Structure 1
Amino acid sequence: MTTTLPPRRPLPRRAGLTRRQQRGASCVWCCIVLSPDTAVSLGTQTYQLADGQDLEWHPRGCTRCAEAG
């Protein structure tokens, strides 16, 4: 089961992440592959497209990175 924690450090820029990181399959910080048992949800985040439209994304991290300050 995925745990939810607010990020303790700034999230990387979404544009610089791999597709796996953007869709929550890999940690946004260290790129380790995540499973439901190892993933930590970092909450709903928003980003803005060039046309001004706001979209949501749901980043995830590994336990080690999510708990690091």
Structure 2
Amino acid sequence: MDPANETKAVEETSEVEEAPNAEHEAVVRWRRSQMLSLGIGQLEADMLAESDADLGLLRRLVGKGCPPPLAVRIVL
């Protein structure tokens, strides 16, 4: 492969990798804000936002009166 084409291919690959990372970070920020709005503590919200924790389940539990710390334990 021509070195110029190889450099271009590496740059294009980097751009493709950055887009999903930016999207992932946006989703994590949104999930964190949603969890904080439920009364979940910062540390737990940070941890849960990065996980596959079920945000809908957290909302239902807290909405039915479950204390946020207990809801976190249930979801984990």
TM-score, normalised by the number of residues in structure 2: 0.23
Structure whose alpha-carbon radius of gyration is higher: 2
Structure number having the greater helix percentage: 2
